[in-house]
Amino acid sequence: MSLRERLRRLLQVAEPRRAPTQTSSPTEFFFSFLNISSLFTWLTLLVAMLGLCCLDIFLRVIADIRSLIVVGCGAAVLVTGTLITLSSRKLSNTAAVNDIPKKYMPINTSDVPQPVYRMIQSGLSFSATVSSNIHPNRNDIRHIGWGRTPLENVHFRSAMIETIDILEHAAADVSSRWRRDKQTPVRMYVENLTKMGALDETLGKTYCDMLEDAQYGNDQPSEEEYMVFMKQFALLLRSLGAPPSSITS
């Protein structure tokens, strides 16, 4: 199964199942109201009877300390058992979720308990809703020292430092005498090329100043500084071995 088919199947599973809308008639509404009312009445009577029984037992055993202790212990056991029964479902659901393998995706309701299945469906629906509303805005993302589209893969400081090798190879292609010694600093190398008439003095000094600011500065170069630097570097390459009058032409 391809990745696209798996994503389509996942989104189909994650879609919430909507129940068909049905119009209720007055008769159905009456029987529904009667059912709810009867359940509420029986619940009220049950609570009242239990309250009267508890009050009667309390009035009978309040004079006898032993009977009061027995009844109190029984009530404590009853409350404890009730709490354990009510919390057992939550504990079983949590254990069922933890037992699900990470690479397993429940598809059918019979794969996991119904509460767990509903919780998973709710999470998948939420994820599908969030993913469908996400729109990338790559032009608004600013990583310090890196460019925006279409320069998202350019690290300005590294690219500016790489111009040293480009300048060295370009000078060596023109004349082998202009090859740089590895122990010679960049500024001294550019000054030597200037003295030999290979580079324009103003462009060479500007190039060295901007390169040192980018290489040793505390802040990363911005995109504007990078573009200005590359324009200066392009002019510097044009001046390589050319007469001064043709540099700005």
DSSP H helices, the chain, are 3-14, 26-61, 65-99, 114-132, 156-174, 186-195, 201-216, 223-238
What per-residue confidence (pLDDT) applies to 245? 40
What per-residue confidence (pLDDT) applies to 11? 47
What whole-number distance in Å separates Cα of residue 75 and Cα of residue 77? 5
**Half-sphere exposure (CA, 13 Å, Cβ side) for 41?**
6
What per-residue confidence (pLDDT) applies to 16? 44
Say if CB 13 and CB 107 are below 8 A apart.
Answer: yes
What per-residue confidence (pLDDT) applies to 104? 62
* Closest-CA residue to 178 (of 160, 186, 211, 170): 170
What's the whole-model pTM score?
A: 0.40
Q: How confident is the prediction along the chain (249 residues), in pLDDT tens digits per residue?
A: 554 554 455 444 444 444 444 455 677 778 788 888 888 898 899 888 888 887 887 777 777 777 778 878 888 888 888 888 878 877 887 787 777 666 666 667 777 777 878 888 888 888 888 888 877 665 555 566 666 656 667 888 888 889 988 888 888 888 888 888 878 888 898 888 888 888 888 888 999 999 888 888 888 888 888 889 999 999 988 888 644 443 333
What per-residue confidence (pLDDT) applies to 246? 38
Distance between alpha carbon 214 and the CA centroid of its chain, in Å?
A: 32
Q: How far apart are the first and last CA of the chain?
A: 61
What whole-number distance in Å separates Cα of residue 11 and Cα of residue 124? 8
Say if CB 205 and CB 135 are below 8 A apart.
Answer: no
What per-residue confidence (pLDDT) applies to 180? 83
